Structure 1
Amino acid sequence: MASAFELTRNMTIGQYIPTDSAVHRFDPRFKLVAFGVLVLAIAFCNTYVGNLFALAFCLALFPLIRIPVGYGVSGIKPAVPFIIIIALLQFFFSGSIAPGGTLHFEYGVIRITGDSIRLVIVSAMRFVEVIFLSSVLTFSTSTTDLTRGMECLLSPLEKVKFPVHAFALVLTIAIRFVPTFAMEMEKLMKAQASRGAEFGSGEWWRIIRRTKDMFPLIIPLFNLALTRAEDLILAMESRGYVPGEERSVYTRYRSKGADWGLLGISLALAAVILWLP
């Protein structure tokens, strides 16, 4: 019962923890590129061995950034219902049979094939690996560095009048608001439970009931989100922020040999993930 109210403890994406590891000191531009390369490799990897290798590598990243593996793995818990729903849809309704494939069960529109079973397992592993990589990226990169790194990488788009700074800022704020929303949801759940509402009393697999229990929290959560957004706007305006105007930067990023080494390692790992049979 108590674990149902501990949302922030299991929300790893969007948290920045300054452990001063070697990964923290990498150039954020290279970290973003390495992250993109690995995510693309995972997205195109269709093999069990390749995904197992990627999963093992993602788990090894947590000790590297001085974060307990248990805390990093806890980030999967909020995503478990989505993984189950997606897996069930793929398991029962992905009915295509490749040449030489096997049909295990068929009833109406429901078809269970060897390809659907492999798709479910591989998709779940991909989902988990992307969550781990996203957690590692936000654990080791501050909000300012994420915004500046993304802005530097997208700067060529300014030639076609694309609002690079605004896009990078909005995307970074959205990522950082994830743990904020989890904290507000936790407060709402505790307030409702103190008034007699039932949260977390049902079994974990009763997804529909647990979803219905969350409906009374949606409107208050949106209200709190708008309040937080208004506070953020006032804070930015009080500091002289004007959208669209050119701004100076305090930190100038300069690439080092270690940054290029990080990029080379990520490319090599992506090649290995895609090459493994």
Structure 2
Amino acid sequence: MAREFELTRNITIGQYLPTGSFVHRLDPRIKLFSFGILILAIAFCNSYGGNFIVLCFSLLLFRLSRIPLRYGLSGVKPAIPFIVILAVLQLLFYGDIASGGRVYLEYGFIVITSDSVRLVIVSALRFIEIIFVSSVLTLSTSTTQLTHGMESLLKPLKYVKFPVHEFSLIMTIAIRFVPTFAMEMEKMMKAQASRGAEFGTGSWWRIFRRTKEMFPIIVPLFRVAMERAEDLILAMEARCYVPGGDRSKFRKYKSSPGDFLVLFFLLAFSAFLLMYPFPY
């Protein structure tokens, strides 16, 4: 029962864990670009061998960044119900799309083949790997670094009148507020449980019952979100923030040869995942 209230422990995206590793010291611009390319390569990798290599590499990233592996694995736990639902839907209804290979079961419109099973396994692995890589990126990069790095990468879009700074700020705030809302939701669950509400009494696969249990949390969570947004607006106005205005930066980022070496390695690794003909 107590594990049902440990939401912040299972939310790794949006938190920053300073460990002093070389991954933390990388130029945020290089880190965002290289990790973004890696995530795209993972999304298009459709082989067992490629996904196994990526899974091992993503676990190695936790080691290199000195982030506890148990902490990283806890970020997958909230996504397990979605992975299971997605796997069941793909297995039952994607038989016509992945119709090749050996047929295991055919009943009406439900066709389960070796290729549809392959699609289910590969999709689940890609989902987990993207969570791992995204967790390493946010756990090793502070909110300020994410904002400046994203703004620098999108700077060419200013020539087409795209609000680069505002977009970068919105994306960074959205990522940063994920653990904040998890903490608020955890407080509400504990408060309502102390008043007799039931949370986590059913099995995790009983999706409809567990969703019904969350309904009393949704309305107050939206109210808290609006209050947090209003507080943020007042804080930014108190600091004379003007959208679209020219702003100076306290820190100037300079890329080192080590940063470019990491970029070259991740680009080569991503190209290898996309171009190498894995047998399985």
Do Structure 1 and Structure 2 share a fold, with TM-score over 0.5? yes
Alignment of 1:27-176 (within 5 A): 27-96=27-96, 100-176=100-176
CA-CA distance at 1:97 after TM superposition: 5.7
Aligned: 1:251 with 2:251:
yes
Q: Is the 8 A contact 1:97 1:115 kept in 2?
A: no
Residue in structure 2 matched with residue 240 of structure 1 by the alignment: 240
Checking the alignment, whether the CA contact within 8 Å between 2:98 and 2:116 is kept in structure 1 is no
CA contact (8 A) 1:50 1:276 kept: no
- State the distance in 2 between where 1:56 and 1:69 align: 12
Q: Is the 8 A contact 1:97 1:103 kept in 2?
A: no
Residues 76, 276 of structure 1: alpha-carbon distance in 2 compared, 3 angstrom cutoff:
farther
Q: Give deviations 1:49-83, integer Å, cap 9, x for gaps.
A: 10010011101111211111011111001111111
- Report whether the alignment pairs 1:214 with 2:214: yes
Give CA-to-partner distance per residue, 1:178-211, whole Å, 9 cap, x none: 1011101101110110011110111122122111
Shift of 1:138: 0.6
- Tell me the matched-pair count: 277
Task: Say if 2:15 is the partner of 1:15.
Answer: yes
1:245 to partner: Cα distance:
0.8
| 1:272 Cα offset (Å) | 2.9
TM value normalised by structure 1: 0.97
What secondary structure sits across from 1:36 in the alignment? helix
After TM superposition, give the deviation of residue 257 of structure 1 in Å. 0.1
Secondary structure of the corresponding residue to residue 104 of structure 1: strand
Query: Is the contact between residue 93 and residue 110 of structure 1 (CA under 8 Å) also seen in structure 2?
Result: yes
Alpha-carbon distance in structure 1 between the residues aligned to 2:59 and 2:211: 30
Contact 2:100 2:115 in 1 (8 A): no
In structure 2, distance between residues paired with 1:98 and 1:3: 38
Separation of aligned partners in 1, 2:9 and 2:146: 23
Aligned-partner Cα distance in 2 for 1:52–1:131: 15
CA distance in 2, matches of 1:111, 1:14: 40
Deviations 1:144-192 (A, max 9, x none): 1100000000000000000000000000100011101110110111011
SS of equivalent to 2:106: strand
The 1:99–1:234 alpha-carbon spacing in structure 2 relative to 1, beyond 3 Å, is closer
d(CA) in 2 for partners of 1:179, 1:258: 31
C-alpha distance in structure 2 between counterparts of 1:253 and 1:122, whole Å: 38
- 1:75 counterpart SS class: coil
1:89-141, Cα deviation, whole Å (9 max, x unpaired)? 11100022667522222223322122211111000000000101111001111
- Counterpart AA for 2:154: L
Instruction: Note if contact 1:49-1:276 (Cα within 8 Å) is conserved in structure 2.
Output: no
Amino acid of the structure 1 residue aligned with 2:140:
S
Summarize the Cα distance change of 1:97–1:248 in structure 2 as closer, same or farther, 3 Å threshold: closer
Closer, same or farther: CA 98–67 of 1 in aligned 2, 3 Å: closer
Shift in alpha-carbon separation, 1:276–1:72, aligned structure 2, 3 A? farther
Q: 2:161 is matched by which residue type in structure 1?
A: K
User: CA separation in 2, counterparts of 1:191 and 1:97?
Assistant: 47
Instruction: State the 1:267 CA deviation.
Output: 1.2
Q: Is the 8 A contact 2:103 2:111 kept in 1?
A: yes
